[in-house]
Amino acid sequence: MNWLLVVVGAMVGAPLRYLIGRAVEARNDTLFPWGTFTVNVAGCLVFGLLTGAVTYGDAPSSVRLLVGAGVCGTLTTYSAFSYETVRLAEIGARLYAVANVLASVASAIGAAFIGAALAEAMWA
């Protein structure tokens, strides 16, 4: 039954990743991969909030499978982040590549901590 929760969540997360990524990219005329950056940071924020909610007892662990592994697992995309970073370096946009790595990692981890802190403030 757990796998079904992940599948249903993935059916929501994957299209969200595509639609949000496309919408963000359409509004930015730059080499920086803002679409992937946005979905990764948003997914980490949601996952941090979710993890905090589960930790403080206000959300069942099944929600972590549905929203965490399913939705956030397919919303966020390490493979696209890696590919886009390598591609930036290959075309000579090394500053964008480095900025993508530093900004993505720092922002994603920061968003997860903020999400967990928000959950603690709301439910602890």
73 marked ligand binding residue: yes
85 marked ligand binding residue: no
Rounded CA-CA distance 113/5 in Å is: 25
Q: Cβ distance 38 to 20 under 8 Å?
A: yes
Could you say which DSSP state residue 33 is in?
A: -
Terminal-to-terminal C-alpha distance of the chain: 30
Question: Alpha carbon of 82 to those of 54, 79, 88: distances in Å?
Answer: 30, 5, 10
Annotated binding-site members for Na(+): 73, 76
Annotated binding-site members: 73, 76
